[in-house]
Structure 1
Amino acid sequence: MLPKRRFSFDKRHLTSRWFIYGLWLQLVCSDDASNPRLTLQQDDALLYNINYSHTVLFHEQGSNILLVGGLNFVLRVDVENGENETFTLNPKLQPFCDEKSCENVVTVIERFQNSTFVCGTNGENPTCWTLFSEKSNNSTEVKEYGDGTGISPHTCTQNSLCLTADGDLYAAAPLYSDGALLQFRRLAGNRIDLWMHDQWLSEPTFISSFLAKRKDDPMNEKIYVLFLEKNSDTSPEADPWISRVARVCKVDEGGPRQYLQNIWTSFLKARLICGIPRESLYFNRLKDIFVVHAENWTDSRVYALFSSSWNSTAVCIYSLKELDAIFENSVFKGYDGKIPNPRPGTCVKNSNSIPIATLNIIKDYPEMQDWIHPIHKDTPFFMSKTNYTKIAVDKVQASDALVYNVLLLAKDNGMIIKVLENDTKAFIISETRLYSGSSPVQAMKLDSEMSKLFVGYPGQISVLDLQRCQDYNASCADCVLSRDPYCAWTEYGCTAQTKGGIQNIADGNTYVCDRIKDSRPSYGASVHHSVPVEVSFYLSCPVDSHHATYRWIHGNKSTTCQPTQSECLLLIPSMTSDDYGSYECISHERDYTRKMKKYYLLKPKRVTDSAFNLKCTMVTMVTLAFYL
């Protein structure tokens, strides 16, 4: 808990609590749980190099095809052989427009009505197209679909989202070029168009939406919408934004002709909480979500990525069942009357027949009094002082037949981290650089069937192979310590064939390898150095895990290492007779100890050796200065 009694707050430092909490968070996140075990570079990650900044990716599970939205066209990439094809959209631009407003930026790519549905800004005149496959000659015909207002924004900087579900198209985009009338609507498909009441939202920023399928109860299927909303609390310490989740019934057809016609009759919203309630400190700014759907909708989980006022990020996990229970049971904020029947928000076969008393509450009091809390109620599942921007979650079956969730988080510098969800604890397996620059990720698409993550950067599409078991292939211990559920130790090494393999996802201890011979090589031949007396010298040891501790053994003396990103160093300020002899670098991680390196430091036999080694020592000192 924060040591509040040590600090004083006054009105001149209204954000001091956030600042202090940021310092405290740095201490909390300094252990192994908040640092990646390995830092990797995937050199074969480049899928396609492009000369424009795309805005949207589209990919269907198990497909070899990735669609990329560009300027005036859609790029079709075959991820297996690298072949690509471009489809021009032939925009109809306004007769008078400057260079920027004439751009047609693709903002929507979805599967809709048996075709690929594409929408773009079209010079601030949103338009949609369909791409029909011609099976006879394996080509695609592009046809204009029609007006894209409310589906695509007028400019690519405006907020928007799009969802296709069961033959209907749902979208949120401004109706006007100035960004006005940004609402979540049903705009095309099998059911009638619906939109929102103007008073339901205050300056929203839509993040994502999804349909929760109920195979045994399709009548009660809901569309969930997650967004940010302007905070009505204008006190100095209040965050200007709060996170929300709303839901509507899929079968909603709007109200009767005289009341809420073509308006959602099932719209409800609630506040989404992620933080540390005992400190009254919250991550209020929702950035991205990923839904892990289950066969039974009540087992589904919503993984939400948040940022805070003190420049930190967190992941909170929500049970869809518990989330939905708030809408079913909470009182309505600001309403103290009797709740009519049917309860506002209930899905009914004919929404045109809902009583006016029920519709009045939907219209005037759509917010729930109770807040939606994550399954880890006291603290977020994952916290970091690093800024993360995107999230995806994969389900992986390990050798013990248990299914583990692996979170994939994108940093603002383009790195992708892989995080194991182990009960209530997060374990960062690795962080991987796919992109030579340091730009943030623009889009991510996960393919669980192929175990690949498609990542869009400015000017580049990359793919992260989630089964890179070669990164831990040195030994059984190396494979087990990774705690990577994609990989297991077999007779062929560390492989993606986990069935029957050796793993210990629960804690990573290597005793499970005792029944086989560990093939990990020793540190190899000892390295000999002739070092003159009174000369500074350093020894280096490779760091193969950021979770291991390293030390140097010299005689009966044990010395800790000075770590860098990839090496662990021992500096000898001035060689004395006691400094000669053998040095061993030892790493220790969990229950596994390994000899990493062995050196012998010897006195020079001749003057020429001394001069030569003095020169080499000066070089090593320059190198050391570079490291430090």
Structure 2
Amino acid sequence: MCVTALPLLLLLLLHLPLSAWAARPPRVYLSYRDLMESRTARSFSFGFNTSDYRILLLDQDQDRMYVGSRDYVLSLDLGNINREPLIIHWPAPLNRHKECLMAGRGRADECNNYLRLIQPLNRTHLYACGTGAYLPQCALIYRGWRSEDYVFRIVSGSLESGKGKCPYDPKQENMATVIDGVLYAGVQVDYMGTDSAIFRTMGHTPPIRTEQYDSRWLNDPVFVGSLAVSESSFREDDKLYILFRERSLEGENGPAVLSRIARVCLNDEGGMRSLVGKWTSFLKARLVCSVIGQDGVETLFDQLRDVFIQQTQDKQNPLIYGVFTTLGSVFRGSAVCVYSLADVRAVFNGPFAHKEGHGYQMTAYTGKTPYPRPGACAGGFSVAGIRSSRHFGEDVLRFVRTHPLMNSAVYPVNRRPLLLLSDASYTYTSIAVDTVPAADGEYTVLFLGTDRGTVQKVMILPRGPEETEGLILEEVEVFRVPSPVKNIRISSKRHQLYISSAVGLTQLSLHRCAGYGDSCADCCLARDPYCAWDGRGCVRYTPSTTRRSRRQDVRHGDPMRQCRGYNMQVDRGVSEQLQIGVEGGSVFLQCDTRSPLESVTWLLQRDGSQQRKEVRLPVMEGGAVLRSVQTRDAGVYTCLGTENGFRRSRGRVRLGVLPQDLLEKLTATPTLTPLPAHCPPPRKPRPALPQPDRN
């Protein structure tokens, strides 16, 4: 299998099935104005001069959402983000702001306090950190026991340094999570951004970090996300997985950036003589999202942008959804890949990567691996006899220091993307995932943010044991001023999305069922697992055995089977329109289709004929055009829309054609004969005198 560099991507498209690269249009597209008129969204309006609404933290127990922006921390109501927000103003100190400006850092408003970390520390407090005008600072925030307490303030005297917890530069991405009062952060540690590390600070455990200035461990990383997992009945086996992308060291011909997944043990205490204060359990592996062509050539999506962790019934094996894009500007593409944590473990239990031979290429390590296996957790299932990482032998620590990379890569489920986007002018930036119960099973729905400020709702439809299809149900503009989506958070409990960008924050319902149409057929063809026909309209579907009139068919979308008794509504509102054309001129025949997925067919019943025949017309948005109309074109034109095999009338026009010679007679100006010169002009009639009332 050959791995190609990005400049060859355009050539590789020839080797891929066309259907795999086709970006289908959304069934419904809503502008920002249409979205607000639907009353299914709210836009958060912040009256102060702030921006960069990047950090979102949902607390569904207290029914609050915490937002970090420039100089402000917000506490918003999950039910209505505009209802009495609680606000903390947290600017950088004035003297620090001036020092930052003097250092030349004020060209793009860097000399402010950009919130980059908000994590729950316990039931009553949050831990928050900001860039502090290139001098990171952190503090405790008291939020009360309940949302009804209506308190939100920085704890007096809790300000402390944020080094190793929060980046200096607001443009740098970071990762942070608090587990049992301990903070784990992937961050740039220094002012110049040259020292990147995965840090553990706070709590009862000693501080630990990755090896400093060692490109084998981290090489200019961009941190994306993390997840903590209990991997066995031994608590000592608990691990943290970190997802990021970094510059490649695997070879000269590979891409410049690769996506990674790394892991560390939560109980790691560092080494005794070697790796003191460093991770002894740090390992990393490549995360591959790619498409394999018919000739075996692999097209890569190497830029990991966002991840979503979906819990499953097996708590030890959640699914990892990742959004990837291509590298460079030659070709723009996006993909969504899904990974099983069981596959990730198999790679970490496999061979280590080792540089040897001519050119020091990466190969599988074939020498003797020390015991206990490098990367294992002290006191865990496989290392029960050693209670602390400080007791690991020097041979184990030396191996960990020089061999942090696994030889095998982690491939997605079924070894191909779940969703692919290639021929669009935009890319995906963020993701949230929901599992939706429907009448015919459970379905996965993806909510994907784009760099043009929209959110797409994509339903994943199973097509076989290993085949799926992505149906774009809708796309909505979520910001008044278009801006790339930074974060998406989902509340399945409230059926709401929360979307942030540099310019604003929007709360969005997961469903807009009425927007699909006012007939059972429209509702069924939409194939939205959130929606069903209840006999009167397209409404939210709720699992229940009492409402037997609900009609829903997500898997097949067949109105003929599901809408018996309601199919008469498919022609509701379709009346015959009269239209007059002029011979030799053009006529526009209107045909309104609700879905861009409908194919349009025109039938003509000519005047004096009893038969309808299909005619080919130049189709335009909203109808078709007849150019150079002739008298023989008069008749009744019927527009038929076909979607998923279901055909229905979408418009009917009776066209009359006016002959050109008749039009000339009707529009001709009458000729006036001039009076002789000796004849006086006619007198104007005198106005009639009023007559007396004879009654």
Q: Distance in 2 between matches of 1:251 and 1:377?
A: 33
Aligned residue in 2 for 1:56: 55
**Cα deviation per residue 1:424-466 (whole Å; 9 max; x = unaligned)?**
2222222122223332112221112112111113332112211
Are positions 1:313 and 2:334 aligned together? Answer: yes
Q: Distance in 2 between matches of 1:174 and 1:468?
A: 42
> Unaligned 5+ residue runs, structure 1?
3-8, 613-628
Q: CA deviation at 1:543?
A: 2.7
Aligned residue in 2 for 1:348: 378
Aligned residue in 1 for 2:692: none
Aligned residue in 1 for 2:465: none
Q: Which residue, 602, 615, 638 being the options, matches 1:552?
A: 602
Aligned residue in 1 for 2:174: 160
Q: CA deviation at 1:597?
A: 0.7
Mapped contact 1:586–1:593 kept (Cα < 8 A)? yes
Mapped contact 1:174–1:180 kept (Cα < 8 A)? yes
Root mean square deviation, CA, Å: 2.8
Q: Distance in 1 between matches of 2:492 and 2:67?
A: 19
Q: CA deviation at 1:299?
A: 4.1
Mapped contact 1:202–1:229 kept (Cα < 8 A)? yes
Aligned residue in 2 for 1:89: 90
AA in 1 matched with 2:12: Y
Q: Distance in 2 between matches of 1:610 and 1:322?
A: 81
Q: Distance in 1 between matches of 2:65 and 2:507?
A: 11
**Cα deviation per residue 1:524-546 (whole Å; 9 max; x = unaligned)?**
32111122222111112123112
Aligned residue in 1 for 2:535: 491
Q: Distance in 2 between matches of 1:577 and 1:363?
A: 87
Displaced runs of 4 or more, over 6 A:
23-26, 608-612
Q: Distance in 1 between matches of 2:322 and 2:264?
A: 20
Which sits farther off after the overlay, 323-332 or 221-230? Answer: 323-332
Mapped contact 1:526–1:599 kept (Cα < 8 A)? yes
Q: How do 1:176-215 and structure 2 match up within 5 A?
A: 176-198=190-212, 199=214, 200-214=217-231
**Cα deviation per residue 1:79-127 (whole Å; 9 max; x = unaligned)?**
4342223112254352623154531111111112441221111111100
**Cα deviation per residue 1:169-201 (whole Å; 9 max; x = unaligned)?**
111222211112111111122422210013211
Q: Which residue, 352, 366, 382 being the options, matches 2:404?
A: 366
Q: Distance in 2 between matches of 1:129 and 1:377?
A: 44
**Cα deviation per residue 1:118-151 (whole Å; 9 max; x = unaligned)?**
1111111100122113569632231234111111
Aligned residue in 2 for 1:38: 28
Residues 23 and 337 (structure 1), Cα distance of their counterparts in 2 relative to 1, 3 Å cut:
closer
Q: TM-score, normalised by structure 2?
A: 0.80
Q: CA deviation at 1:26?
A: 10
Q: Which residue, 424, 439, 443 being the options, matches 1:399?
A: 439
Aligned residue in 1 for 2:470: 426
**Cα deviation per residue 1:4-48 (whole Å; 9 max; x = unaligned)?**
xxxxx9xxxx865222235777944564x6332222341243331
Q: Which residue, 343, 347, 362 being the options, matches 1:322?
A: 343
Mapped contact 1:25–1:384 kept (Cα < 8 A)? no
Q: Which residue, 430, 447, 454 being the options, matches 1:390?
A: 430
Q: CA deviation at 1:554?
A: 1.2
Residues 137 and 27 (structure 1), Cα distance of their counterparts in 2 relative to 1, 3 Å cut:
closer
Q: Which residue, 617, 642, 652 being the options, matches 1:598?
A: 652
Q: CA deviation at 1:373?
A: 0.7
Residues 521 and 554 (structure 1), Cα distance of their counterparts in 2 relative to 1, 3 Å cut:
closer
Which sits farther off after the overlay, 282-291 or 67-76? Answer: 67-76
**Secondary structure in 2 aligned to 1:297?**
coil
> Unaligned 5+ residue runs, structure 2?
356-364, 380-387, 463-467, 545-549, 606-611, 669-695
**Cα deviation per residue 1:392-425 (whole Å; 9 max; x = unaligned)?**
111111123x322111111211111111122322
Q: Which residue, 122, 131, 150 being the options, matches 2:141?
A: 131
Residues 314 and 101 (structure 1), Cα distance of their counterparts in 2 relative to 1, 3 Å cut:
closer
Q: Distance in 2 between matches of 1:563 and 1:450?
A: 42
Q: Distance in 2 between matches of 1:448 and 1:181?
A: 39
Q: Distance in 2 between matches of 1:380 and 1:327?
A: 23
Mapped contact 1:274–1:373 kept (Cα < 8 A)? yes
Mapped contact 2:618–2:624 kept (Cα < 8 A)? yes
**Secondary structure in 2 aligned to 1:357?**
helix
Which sits farther off after the overlay, 585-594 or 204-213? Answer: 204-213
Residues 610 and 171 (structure 1), Cα distance of their counterparts in 2 relative to 1, 3 Å cut:
farther
Number of equivalenced pairs: 596
Q: Which residue, 581, 585, 591 being the options, matches 1:541?
A: 591
Residues 425 and 101 (structure 1), Cα distance of their counterparts in 2 relative to 1, 3 Å cut:
closer
Residues 449 and 214 (structure 1), Cα distance of their counterparts in 2 relative to 1, 3 Å cut:
farther
Q: CA deviation at 1:492?
A: 4.6
